[in-house]
Amino acid sequence: MNRNFARLIPAVALALLVSVSALAQTAAPAAAPAAAPASAASPSKVGIINIQAAVLYCNEGQRDFEALEKKVIDPKRQELEGLSKELEELQKKFNVQGDKLSEEARADLLKQIDTRKKTIKRNSEDADAEIQAQQSEIGNRIAEKLQKVMEKYAKDNHFTLILDVNSQGSPVVFAEDSIIITKAVVEAYNAASGIAAPVKPTPAAKPASTPAGAGATKK
C-alpha cells in the first residue's frame, strides 16, 4: 500500500537576545544605560508522532479503508482468483491431454492459456493502480485534516517541534513514551471529526459443550 502521508511541523526558532551598546553620537560621550540581563530561553518541548499510523487508526481512516477493502479490494481479489483458477484448469488439461489433441485443438488450448495469462497480468496491474490511487486519496485527505488538528494540539500544549517518525529520513531512533503524541492527536481528531469508531463484528458464540457423562442414561 502506498501510504506515504508524512508531514513535518517546522521548528519554531528560538530568538537570541543580544545586547548591543549604543555608540556615542555626540562629542561628549554619554554614559550608556546598563543593559537588561538577557532572559534565559525556555527549554524546547519536542513531540513525536507517526502520521501514517494516525491516519490508519483514527475512526475515519478505519471506516474508509475498511470500505475500500469491501468495495474494491475484495472483489478484485475474487476476480483474479477466478481467473487464476481458470488458468490452472487449462494448464492441467494441457498437461493431461496435450499429446493426445489434434494440432488445431492443441494450438487453440495454448492460445487460451496465453490469453488467460495476459488477462491476469493486465487485470492485476489495473487493480493495483486503482487500489493505490484510492488509498492515496483517502490517506492524503485525512492527513491534511489531521495536520491542522496536530498543529492546534502542539500549540495548545506548548510544543516547539513535532517530528514524524514515519517520514523518509527521520532522524528519530529513540523516544520516551511521554513525548509520543500519536494517540492523543488521534483522540483529538476523532473528537473533532465526530465520526464514531467502526463497529467490529461480534464473533459467533461457540455452542456449549455437553459435560462428560451428562447424556448417559442411568440404569
pLDDT of residue 121: 97
Residue 42 reports pLDDT greater than 50? yes
Taking the C-alpha atoms of residue 134 and residue 159, their distance in angstroms, rounded to an integer, is: 33
pLDDT of residue 215: 53
pTM value is 0.69
DSSP collapsed to 3 states, 87-140 = HHHHHHHHHHHHHHCCHHHHHHHHHHHHHHHHHHHHHHHHHHHHHHHHHHHHHH
Hey, where are the domains in the chain?
Answer: 46-193
List, for residues 65-107, the tens digit of each pLDDT value. Answer: 999 999 999 999 999 999 999 999 999 999 999 888 999 999 9
pLDDT of residue 169: 73
| All cell numbers assigned to 149 | 488538528
Look at residues 69, 72, 64 and name the one whose alpha carbon lies nearest to residue 137.
64
C-alpha 98, offset from chain centre: 49
